[in-house]
């Protein structure tokens, strides 16, 4: 028998990235990966006996984990089940947003812009509507841990077994909360119960793009977000896709550069969502009474036997589309040809727009807080920004990438506001926002709104 004792320290600073171990005076928050050492020769399916005890806890501390709320945990589980889980102890607020027989424990730490009660009710609605979508209520237990982030510009989350965790900054819009939760929770099925195979990056168009599509669509149907917010979201994706500088890169490029190029990292989310719109239209053209939903349901039905692959996806779609989608998959996904929405059964319009363009050097802005290399043709220049100005504050409400917003730059020479849009413009599709009678029907039919 070998006995190992070790200490766990967090990274320097005061990190709030939930993927790693966080150790504070009033909180211990970590995934299994951040805290447990396992023998390297353990096989994925080998069961191990695990006893986890939280000892000498302050009386005001509570505990929660992917395995329950008890502070003593005894389990016979596999290493992935131990590691792919969240463990929390500290001054947390714990709520049950499920039922007594099927608890969904919500743990909150820190401050958020919306009340605990609202977070709890949003989560309850997301969980119920998504379980209803897949007609899957097989969740004996579920845990969610949310903590306040340390950087107002960053948020993120991760799905774990029977649980998810996220860190949230202050100043988030109500819909952004909702959509972040909905996205993470939908991964219980997309990429979770409907497993991904080993070529993960090559399937991001589906696992991330379709997750982005359905997290918003299910929210629209359950009225978690309203129609205006939904259309705004779709239009953000359409802008992002059609104006992306890398939107014609092949799928293999995503595998190669996902982790080291921001534009490439975002591409499968955009491409996948637009492909979902395209496919929904294709299916409804042949079979007006069904939608892309049937593909999702069929994928889930076979998920226990088969993990996701593009050939499985093609086979399932072929059941509903006479000629199949071999060509679409090769062109739009593999080769990266632009997906055209011409003739789609949705109220769309063409809008002339330029890609996101700051008009001066971004590195200087972030590192030296100074304006450099202003392009005289840019909106930034027109607004009055000039080389050498010292920056005292900035606000980019929709973040890097969306030209349809107003950026504010405060400098010692004054405050400047401008639209970060490139002067060279192209025509792109946008959903119409003010829908008239017939358009409203078209919209509801397309998205399956009752
Ligand atoms: Zn995701």
State the DSSP string of 366-400. Answer: HHT-B--S--TTSHHHHHT--TTPBEEEEE-TT-T
pLDDT in tens, the chain (450 residues): 889 999 988 888 767 788 889 998 899 999 999 899 888 888 888 999 999 999 999 999 999 999 987 878 899 999 999 999 999 999 999 999 999 999 999 999 999 988 999 999 999 999 999 999 999 999 999 999 999 987 766 778 888 989 999 998 887 778 888 998 999 999 999 999 999 877 889 999 999 999 999 999 999 999 999 999 999 999 999 999 999 999 999 999 999 999 889 999 999 999 999 999 999 999 999 999 999 999 999 999 999 999 999 999 999 999 999 999 999 999 999 999 999 999 999 999 999 999 999 999 999 998 999 999 999 999 999 999 999 999 999 988 877 788 999 999 999 999 999 999 999 999 999 999 999 889 999 999 999 998
E strand or H helix at 275, and its extent?
Answer: helix 262-286
Q: CA-to-CA distance for 215 and 160, rounded, in angstroms? A: 18
State in Å: Cα 165 to ligand 1 middle.
12
Chain length of the chain: 450
CATH no., domain 200-347:
1.10.390.10
E strand or H helix at 105, and its extent?
Answer: strand 104-109
Looking at residue 348, its pLDDT comes to: 94
Q: What is the four-CA torsion angle of 20, 24, 27, 28, rounded to 10 degrees?
A: 40
CA atoms within 13 A on the CB side of 361: 13
State in Å: Cα 194 to ligand 1 middle.
14
| CA distances in angstroms from 236 to 170, 257, 357, 384, 442, listed in the order given | 22, 23, 15, 27, 20
Q: CA-to-CA distance for 229 and 225, rounded, in angstroms? A: 6
State in Å: Cα 11 to ligand 1 middle.
25
State in Å: Cα 211 to ligand 1 middle.
7
- Model confidence, pTM: 0.88
Residues around ion ligand 1, judged by CB within 5 A, are 208
Task: Kindly report, as residue ranges, where domains of CATH 1.10.390.10 are found in the chain.
Answer: 200-347
State in Å: Cα 4 to ligand 1 middle.
36
State in Å: Cα 183 to ligand 1 middle.
6
State in Å: Cα 210 to ligand 1 middle.
9
Q: CA-to-CA distance for 82 and 123, rounded, in angstroms? A: 25
Distance from chain centroid for Cα 59: 36
Contact status, residue 239 vs residue 422, Cβ threshold 8 Å: no
State in Å: Cα 427 to ligand 1 middle.
29
Neighbour-count burial of 138, counting CB atoms closer than 10 A to its CB (0-12 exposed, 13-18 middle, 19+ buried): exposed
State in Å: Cα 217 to ligand 1 middle.
15
State in Å: Cα 67 to ligand 1 middle.
23
Contact status, residue 404 vs residue 231, Cβ threshold 8 Å: no
Looking at residue 154, its pLDDT comes to: 75
Residue 24 main-chain phi, psi, to 5 deg = -125, 180
Q: CA-to-CA distance for 322 and 104, rounded, in angstroms? A: 42
Place of tokens 């632009």: 338
State in Å: Cα 284 to ligand 1 middle.
27
Paired tokens of 448: 């399956």
State in Å: Cα 187 to ligand 1 middle.
7
State in Å: Cα 317 to ligand 1 middle.
23
Looking at residue 15, its pLDDT comes to: 73
State in Å: Cα 61 to ligand 1 middle.
31
Among 163, 166, 223, which residue's Cα sits nearest to residue 188? Answer: 163
Looking at residue 91, its pLDDT comes to: 96
Looking at residue 320, its pLDDT comes to: 96
Neighbour-count burial of 241, counting CB atoms closer than 10 A to its CB (0-12 exposed, 13-18 middle, 19+ buried): buried
State in Å: Cα 300 to ligand 1 middle.
18
């Amino acid at each position: 028998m070998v006995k190992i004792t070790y200490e766990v320290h967090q990274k320097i600073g005061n990190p709030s990235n939930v993927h790693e171990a966080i150790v504070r005076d009033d909180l211990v928050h970590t995934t299994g990966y951040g805290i447990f050492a396992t023998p390297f020769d353990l096989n994925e399916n080998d069961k191990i006996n695990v006893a986890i005890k939280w000892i000498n806890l302050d009386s005001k501390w509570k505990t929660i984990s992917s395995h329950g709320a008890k502070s003593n945990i005894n389990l016979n589980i596999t290493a992935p089940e131990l590691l792919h889980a969240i463990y929390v102890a500290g001054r947390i607020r714990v709520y049950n947003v499920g039922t007594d027989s099927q608890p969904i424990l919500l743990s909150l730490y820190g401050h958020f812009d919306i009340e605990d009660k609202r977070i709890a009710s949003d989560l309850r609605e997301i969980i119920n509507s998504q379980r209803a979508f897949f007609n899957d209520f097989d969740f004996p237990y579920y845990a969610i841990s949310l903590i306040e982030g340390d950087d107002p510009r960053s948020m993120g989350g991760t799905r774990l077994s029977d649980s998810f965790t996220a860190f949230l900054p202050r100043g988030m819009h109500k819909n952004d909360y909702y959509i972040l939760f909905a996205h993470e929770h939908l991964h219980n099925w997309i990429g979770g119960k409907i497993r991904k195979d080993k070529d993960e990056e090559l399937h991001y168009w589906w696992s991330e793009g379709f997750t982005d599509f359905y997290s918003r669509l299910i929210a629209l149907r359950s009225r978690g977000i309203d129609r205006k917010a939904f259309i705004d979201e779709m239009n953000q994706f359409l802008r992002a896709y059609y104006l992306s500088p890398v939107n014609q890169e092949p799928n293999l490029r995503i595998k190669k550069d996902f982790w080291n190029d921001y534009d490439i990292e975002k591409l499968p989310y955009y491409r996948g969502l637009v492909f979902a719109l395209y496919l929904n239209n294709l299916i409804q053209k042949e079979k007006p009474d069904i939608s892309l939903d049937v593909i999702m349901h069929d994928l889930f039905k076979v998920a226990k036997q088969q993990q996701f692959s593009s050939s499985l996806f093609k086979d399932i779609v072929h059941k509903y589309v006479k000629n199949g989608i071999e060509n679409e998959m090769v062109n739009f996904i593999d080769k990266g040809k632009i997906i055209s929405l011409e003739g789609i059964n949705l109220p769309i319009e063409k809008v002339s727009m330029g890609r996101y363009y700051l008009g001066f050097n971004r590195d200087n802005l972030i590192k030296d807080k100074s304006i450099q290399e202003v392009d005289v043709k840019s909106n930034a220049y027109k607004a009055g920004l000039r080389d050498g100005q010292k920056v005292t504050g900035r606000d980019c409400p929709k973040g890097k990438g969306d030209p349809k917003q107003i950026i504010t730059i405060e400098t010692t020479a004054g405050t400047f506001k401008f639209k970060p849009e490139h002067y060279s413009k192209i025509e792109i599709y946008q959903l119409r926002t003010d829908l008239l009678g017939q358009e409203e029907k078209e919209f509801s039919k397309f998205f399956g709104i009752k």
